[in-house]
Amino acid sequence: MSYADVGITILWTFLFGYIIVASIDFGAGFFSYYSVVTGHQNVIHNIVQRYLSPVWEVTNVFLVFFYVGLVGFFPDAAYYYGTALLVLGSVAIVLLAIRGAYYAFNTYGSSTKERSKVYMALYGATGLLIPAGLSTILAISEGGIIEEAGGRVLFDWREFFTNPYTWSVIILAIVSVLYISAMFLAYYAKKARDQGAFKILRGYALFWSGPTILASLFAFFQIYKQNPEHFMAMIDNSWMFVASLLFFLVAVYFMVKGENLGLGFIAVMLQFGFAWFGYGRSHLPYILYPYINIHESITNESTAIALIIVFAAGLLVVIPSIVLIMRLFLFNAKYVSGQSPKKG
Amino acid sequence: MSSMDPVLLSRILTEVTLFVHIIFASYGVGVPLMILLAEWRGVRTNDQHYVLLARRWARGFVISVAIGVVTGTSIGLQLSLLWPTFMRVAGRAIALPLFMETFAFFAEAIFLGMYLYTWERFKNKYTHLLLLIPVALGSSASAFFITTVNAFMNYPQGFTLQNGVFTNVQPFKAMFNPATPTKVAHVLASSYTVSAALLTCIAAYNILKGRKHVYYKKALKLTAISAFVFAVITAIIGDFSGKYLAQYQPAKLAAAEWHFETMRQAPFVFGGVLGENNEIKYGIKIPYALSILAGNSPNYEVIGLDRIPDDEEPPLYIHYLFDLKVSTGVLLVIIPLLYMLRKKLPGKKHYPKWLLVLLVALAPLAMTAYELGWIFSEVGRQPWILVGYMKVEEAATTSTNVGSMLVLFIILYLVLCISCIRVLSKLFRNRSAEEEMQERGMEGGDHI
């Protein structure tokens, strides 16, 4: 494997981690809001808070990891995406900032009674807007929206908004967030032996499974129109998408039965994992079609080696920490069921 | 105009983001250490007042960390959005410390979450305390790594520039450049000072308001002594930074000192204003002091602005920033020293009102010094973004939307900061330390 391949694999894996962790987070925000509006507030709100509170900062780290790694391995990405995405990127930063800060303010800075509906609405809305916004990068990476002319990088807003592929990834992002999140939270509620919350969340999970698969198919066929070269490469890797579909069926089966939900969530991760890596693999060698090719814009060898070494060393810190936090919070029966003292 | 505008606007937007970020980032680096000190003392001497102190600090700390995190994400992404050409070229050399920083941040983030939710959960009373060590280490390590990036921009090395591309990059040599030791040490020490000063201010404010519980006096003792120690260390490292500048970045030192002619036995100018033809009016001249500051000897030759090409000269107003920063730095040492000598001061009270007012002023003074120091350091390397290699104009984005983004971010930061202050004041007003001591069954109301 070349450094370029190692680099892009590391980055793609981070992004996958972000998708799973952030989906749970973003979807939870939306469900929390939805539950306030429909009066289910107390039933699922506690479950959501108990899961999210200790991990809220971690989600952001995955995104920053990805961004720093991308710029590090492929410095041209900073140039093209950086120049073209000033507006979209800034809006995404603002949304992330509002969500992150107000989550902390509300969770750590106030008592339960003070939670305002405005805040919940903001939290729910950003939970859908952020993934929608971030997902458009996938559409942009297919080419045709960022153009280089006369030594300047330009962003074609008209093409961006009128392109059906842009909208197909936005829809896919939103429904996937709701699906992944509901699948996880239903599992978490079941673990907490919270029947009320489990029933509602199971309903959400099953409700969103249909649109998820439809949106995936829609996006799949839009790629054919947008970038036929990419589509053909996807056909070559079609077994990965078939595997993804099978794991989807397994996950939904467990959810319908209401048992083995831990395995069910692993199936959800495999479902998205296969689709994600299948998509990513067939997108190569381009990070931005046709300007950034991983083999041409890879950083120098010494930096690539140093980054890979640091990455390996970093994992030695990160993986035990994740295991520890899971044992303390996720798989700790006392904490999950709410008997343990909450915050200092 | 349209080609220059993005440069100026990008500079302003970066300045605004950093101005806000470093406030919360400095607390993010220093406060965990203070929490660790308080809880360690509490657990070791079995004094619950210190444990409560750690607990209350930690609660306020999370709120400020939130803004540190989101503004940190902002500046991280803005590096590419506003300075794409810089990142394309220098990305090869600075990616390593940036990457390491995110790992340090990860450790900090994950253990902070654990620390906040595991009070009274472990049988061994030291276990909870141990969770704070990775938080304190992680935040200081982040500061370390990110400051090496800044040091690299001040003293780029470890690469060859060929046709606008870095080749032969040695990432570790780039990271450990001559500017790194003094910069990193100064940033860490001053962050600890700023944090200790903030907590001193809070403790002194409570006593000033007439709260008499021994809890507040213990808090003041711990914080004021820490502030003194950190401020002295910061000042000593500041002196090393001066010597570094004289040797490696003479333009910055010469502009800061209005040192126009290269000479030995150079005087140090304090204050003053610059007249036409660069005459210094009303300044206090201390003979030989600049040579001693720069090279430990009155005969040290200090390079003046005469040796710096005109188009590479930093703006001369940084002299005011430098003087103000140094003066505030001196106050940061004297005020806590007065507190430590309070029993020997004239007058009967050990906590005279004027002393408490000075201690309250410690937080804004420290923050002012911190901001001034950073502005001095950054403006002092104008016109370069990579000293000697790339000027700021060549690095900025060509996008025409920077102006509206500037407005957007100013609104965002204003809203965030105002909310942060409101949330924090509500948090502590709604539940006073006395109430909490009673809730926890600690001896309440004993006035010493």
* Termini Cα distance of chain B: 67
Q: Nearest C-alpha of chain B: how many angstroms from A43?
A: 22
Residues of A in contact with B119 (CB under 8 A): 341, 343-344
B410-428 pLDDT, tens digit per residue, is: 999 998 898 888 888 888 8
Are B242 and B293 within 8 A, CB to CB?
A: yes
**Alpha carbon distance B294, B271 (integer Å):** 18
Is A116 in a helix, a strand, or coil?
coil
Query: CB–CB of B110 and A321 under 8 A?
Result: yes
**How do beta strands B384-386 and B390-391 pair?**
antiparallel
Higher pLDDT, B216 or A264: B216
**Which residues, numbered 299 to 328 in chain B, qualify as contacts with chain A under a Cβ-Cβ cut-off of 8 Å?**
none
Candidate from A54, A98, A314 with C-beta closest to B103: A314
Q: What is the mean pLDDT of residues B382-405?
A: 78
Q: Is the pLDDT of residue A342 over 60?
A: no
Size of interface A-B (CB pairs under 8 A): 233
What pLDDT shows up at residue B281?
A: 79
- Give the residue from A96, A115, A105, A113 showing the smallest Cα distance to A25: A96
Residue A82 contacts B, CB cutoff 8 Å: yes
Q: At what angle do helices B84-116 and A75-84 cross, to 10 degrees?
A: 90
Query: CB–CB of A321 and B106 under 8 A?
Result: yes
Give percent of chain B above pLDDT 70. Answer: 98
Give percent of chain A above pLDDT 90. Answer: 0
Q: How many CA atoms lie within 13 A of B82 on its CB side?
A: 26
Amino acid letter, B257: E
pLDDT grade for B223, boundaries at 50, 70 and 90: very high
Return all residues near A168 (Cβ < 8 A) that are at least 6 apart.
A215, A218, A219, A222
Q: Nearest C-alpha of chain A: how many angstroms from B228?
A: 29
Tokens of A198: 């489990």
* Termini Cα distance of chain A: 48
Candidate from A86, A324, A342 with C-beta closest to B401: A86
Higher pLDDT, B83 or B436: B83
**Alpha carbon distance A180, A229 (integer Å):** 30
pLDDT grade for B362, boundaries at 50, 70 and 90: very high
Candidate from B96, B109, B398 with C-beta closest to A303: B96
To which H or E segment does residue B274 belong? strand B273-274
Query: CB–CB of A64 and B93 under 8 A?
Result: no
Q: At what angle do helices A238-257 and A261-283 cross, to 10 degrees?
A: 160
Candidate from B84, B113, B166 with C-beta closest to A82: B84
Residues of A in contact with B402 (CB under 8 A): 86
A17-43 pLDDT, tens digit per residue, is: 888 888 888 888 887 777 777 766 566
Higher pLDDT, A48 or B271: B271
Query: CB–CB of B103 and A75 under 8 A?
Result: no
Residues of A in contact with B397 (CB under 8 A): 82-83, 86
Best of A60, A63, A87, A93 to disrupt the B interface by mutation (most B CBs within 10 Å)? A93
Best of A58, A79, A96 to disrupt the B interface by mutation (most B CBs within 10 Å)? A79
CA A207 to chain centre: 20
What pLDDT shows up at residue B259?
A: 82
**Alpha carbon distance B1, A340 (integer Å):** 62
Residue A278 contacts B, CB cutoff 8 Å: no
> Considering only alpha carbons, which residue of chain B is nearest residue A55?
B113
Vertex B243 angle, CA B296 and B384, to 5°: 155
B142-164 pLDDT, tens digit per residue, is: 999 999 999 998 888 888 888 77
**Alpha carbon distance A205, A257 (integer Å):** 13
Q: At what angle do helices B5-45 and B353-379 cross, to 10 degrees?
A: 140
Query: CB–CB of A94 and B412 under 8 A?
Result: yes
In terms of C-beta density within 10 A (0-12 exposed, 13-18 middle, 19 or more buried), how is residue A80 classed? buried
Q: Which long-range contacts (CB under 8 A, 24 or more apart) does A257-265 make?
A: A258/A190, A258/A198, A258/A202, A261/A186, A261/A187, A261/A190, A261/A191, A262/A187, A264/A183, A264/A187, A265/A183, A265/A184, A265/A187
**Alpha carbon distance A105, B67 (integer Å):** 10
**Alpha carbon distance B155, B96 (integer Å):** 16
A285-322 pLDDT, tens digit per residue, is: 777 767 777 776 677 777 788 888 888 887 787 788 77
What pLDDT shows up at residue A300?
A: 73
- Give the residue from B378, B397, B401, B402 showing the smallest Cα distance to B85: B397
Residue B417 contacts A, CB cutoff 8 Å: no
Rounded to two decimals, what is the model's pTM?
0.86
Q: Nearest C-alpha of chain A: how many angstroms from B92?
A: 6
Higher pLDDT, B356 or A192: B356
Tokens of A163: 């392109």
Candidate from A93, A307, A313 with C-beta closest to B77: A93
> Considering only alpha carbons, which residue of chain B is nearest residue A339?
B121
**Which residues, numbered 83 to 102 in chain B, qualify as contacts with chain A under a Cβ-Cβ cut-off of 8 Å?**
83-85, 87-89, 91-93, 95-96, 98-102
Residue A63 contacts B, CB cutoff 8 Å: yes
**Alpha carbon distance B95, A306 (integer Å):** 9
Q: Nearest C-alpha of chain A: how many angstroms from B177?
A: 16
Query: CB–CB of A344 and B401 under 8 A?
Result: no
Are A28 and A127 within 8 A, CB to CB?
A: yes
Residues of A in contact with B129 (CB under 8 A): none
Best of A50, A61, A323, A336 to disrupt the B interface by mutation (most B CBs within 10 Å)? A61
Best of A64, A148, A336 to disrupt the B interface by mutation (most B CBs within 10 Å)? A64
What pLDDT shows up at residue B214?
A: 84
Q: Which long-range contacts (CB under 8 A, 24 or more apart) does B171-174 make?
A: B171/A302, B171/A303, B171/A306, B171/B93, B171/B95, B171/B96, B172/A306, B172/B96, B174/B93, B174/B94, B174/B96
Per DSSP, chain B holds a count of helices (H) and strands (E) of: 14, 8
What pLDDT shows up at residue A340?
A: 59
**Which residues, numbered 137 to 196 in chain B, qualify as contacts with chain A under a Cβ-Cβ cut-off of 8 Å?**
166-172
B19-47 pLDDT, tens digit per residue, is: 999 999 999 999 999 999 999 998 888 88
Residue A119 contacts B, CB cutoff 8 Å: no
- Give the residue from A339, A306, A41 showing the smallest Cα distance to A192: A339
In terms of C-beta density within 10 A (0-12 exposed, 13-18 middle, 19 or more buried), how is residue A112 classed? exposed
Candidate from B80, B166, B423 with C-beta closest to A300: B166
Return all residues near B248 (Cβ < 8 A) that are at least 6 apart.
B155, B178, B179
Please identify which residue in the block is written with the tokens 């403790």.
Answer: B203
